[in-house]
Amino acid sequence: AIGSAVGLGSIWRFPYAIGDGGGLFLLIYLGAVILFGLPIFMAELAIGKKTRQGPVGAYRAIAGAGNYGKRMGIFQIITSLVIMTFYSLIGGYCIIYVFKSGVLIGAITDMNAAQNLFNDISGSFWLSFWGTFVFLAVSTVVCVVGVKGIEKLNKYLMPMLFLILFVLSINSLTLPGAAKGMQFLFSFNASNFNMHYVLTALGQACFSLSIGIGVLVLFGSYCDDMGIVKSSIIVISADTIVSLMSAVIIFPALFSFTNAGPSVGGLELAFKALPLVFSKMPCGALVAVSFFILLLVAALASAVSLIELPVAYLMDSCGWKRWKASFCIFSIILIGSIPSICSARFLKFIDYTASNWMLLACVLLLCFFLRRYWDKIGISQMIKKETGSPILAGIICFLVKFFVPAVIIVLILSNICNIF
Ligand code: PFF
């Protein structure tokens, strides 16, 4: 589950989601993780633990052959496919950066040079296409031959990723002018509050924690000896620590190397700021190559968990063999990624739509499902049995049944009112 959660969401997307929000965004994000992410995370694990099946079978086992579970499952699958269309492209950029940064790092002396490198890569259709292709092909092959290999790889490489992020955080903190970046990240003015931060923070929490689309149901089905509360807290803490480290690496460096601060952000923020950090540190090229390889492995594990959902659905509903279902999903995602490869504006649009609106819609549908079947799944009992605390079980039940859906509905309404 840590392999699925920790990926590009924490390292590429989190700093970009912070944007100009600084400490205020961070506070809203932490609130979203605890009040929104944690209860849904536990509930998804509980569905898997109860039914011992992946999402498709689990909803059927709980709700019978009824239509609601089926429709929800299909919407989750569509969301995972849409996410994969741009996730593969960003994964492809990581592959390209492994090769480019080894030789080019020394030449990235300022933000303009970093921007030019990114523009050269994203502006070249074929380079981006082949990056996307290779990333997606490797993810699909892992999905076909089984996840054991990548699981083992993750076990060793994930701690290395943590270590390298920790070293980079310390490096950023010692840069001249880093204090300004830390001040931006950890102080806030409540009068800057705006609903856009709430939407972005909730979407980022769903994306980063892999909640809403049923991936965790699958992990929950393997959740034997470790309880759902303990597992949730471990995975969510690991993911949040990685996200925070990524912000601590990028923002102080931005303030140190440019006068513009967070205004030079954008979707490519991490791809501009990180090479700049590497180029200004000792053994930069070596660190850069190692970093992008580790990030790539983390991204692959996340991608495999995203691909597994539609593949399992095709195998289950059409009776296809795994390789046939995987090849079909590979082709759909590759074709779907072409608009994002061609246009940075489309990439931004699809990322915004899928990560915020589609994932939140998935969570809302899941909440309605959970409201109906809460007792049948026995989530409160699981929490009580594990922690001995009926109060905690009551709080989680309240958050899932009332708080989370209410927040999403308010967000939808506030957006509709803004539009019209
Ligand atoms: N959590 C992953 C990341 O942060 O990169 C992305 C992701 C994986 C989102 C699996 C959703 C999902 F179901």
Cα 78 to ligand 1 centroid, rounded to whole Å: 14
Per mean pLDDT, which range of 152-166, 167-181, 202-216, 229-243 is the poorest?
152-166
Cα 107 to ligand 1 centroid, rounded to whole Å: 33
Q: Work out the average pLDDT over 265-291.
A: 88
Atom of ligand 1 nearest to the CA of 302: 8
pTM: 0.94
What pLDDT score was predicted for residue 90? 97
Side chain identity, residue 53: Q
Side chain identity, residue 173: L
8 A C-beta contact, residue 297 and residue 149: no
E strand or H helix at 394: helix 390-398
What pLDDT score was predicted for residue 146? 76
8 A C-beta contact, residue 59 and residue 413: no
pLDDT tens by residue, 349-391: 999 999 999 999 999 999 999 999 999 999 999 999 999 999 9
Share above pLDDT 70 across residues of the chain, in percent, rounded to a whole number: 99
Cα 406 to ligand 1 centroid, rounded to whole Å: 24
pLDDT tens by residue, 228-238: 999 999 999 99
Cα 159 to ligand 1 centroid, rounded to whole Å: 18
Cα 391 to ligand 1 centroid, rounded to whole Å: 30
E strand or H helix at 78: helix 67-104
Answer whether residue 419 shows pLDDT above 80: no
Atom of ligand 1 nearest to the CA of 10: 4
Answer whether residue 89 shows pLDDT above 70: yes
Atom of ligand 1 nearest to the CA of 80: 13
Q: What separation in angstroms does the CA of 125 have from each of 41, 53, 119, 121?
A: 38, 40, 11, 8
Instruction: Report which protein residue has its CA nearest ligand 1's atom 12.
Output: 210
pLDDT tens by residue, 118-170: 999 999 999 999 999 999 999 999 988 876 777 778 888 889 999 999 999 99
Answer whether residue 66 shows pLDDT above 90: no
Atom of ligand 1 nearest to the CA of 309: 13
Share above pLDDT 90 across residues of the chain, in percent, rounded to a whole number: 65
What pLDDT score was predicted for residue 420? 58
The residue behind tokens 């950023």 is: 172
What pLDDT score was predicted for residue 346? 96
What pLDDT score was predicted for residue 418? 75
Atom of ligand 1 nearest to the CA of 239: 4
Q: Work out the average pLDDT over 327-346.
A: 97
Answer whether residue 56 shows pLDDT above 90: no
Residue of 12, 78, 83 with the most ligand 1 atoms within 8 Å of its CB, for mutation? 83
Query: Average pLDDT, whole number, for the chain?
Result: 91
Q: How confident is the model at residue 53 (pLDDT cuts 50, 70, 90)?
A: confident
Per mean pLDDT, which range of 5-14, 64-73, 292-301, 317-326 is the poorest?
64-73
Orientation angle between helical segments 148-173 and 125-145, nearest 10 degrees: 130
DSSP 286-346: HHHHHHHHHHHHHHHHHHHHHHHHHHHHHHHHH---HHHHHHHHHHHHHHHHHHHHH-HHH
Handedness of CA 255, 258, 263, 264 (dihedral sign): negative
What pLDDT score was predicted for residue 406? 97
What pLDDT score was predicted for residue 259? 74
Q: Work out the average pLDDT over 242-261.
A: 89
278-285: long-range contacts, CB 8 A cutoff, minimum separation 24: 278/101, 278/105, 278/108, 279/105, 279/106, 279/107, 279/108, 279/109, 280/175, 281/171, 284/105, 284/106, 285/101, 285/102, 285/103, 285/105, 285/106
Residue of 33, 45, 209, 210 with the most ligand 1 atoms within 8 Å of its CB, for mutation? 210
Instruction: Report which protein residue has its CA nearest ligand 1's atom 4.
Output: 9
What pLDDT score was predicted for residue 317? 84
Q: Work out the average pLDDT over 403-416.
A: 92
Greater confidence, 267 or 405? 405
Cα 275 to ligand 1 centroid, rounded to whole Å: 24
CA separation for the pair 326, 318 (Å, rounded): 13
What pLDDT score was predicted for residue 101? 82
Q: Ligand 1 site: residues with CB under 6 angstroms? A: 4-5, 7-10, 80, 83, 207-208, 210, 213, 215, 302, 305-306
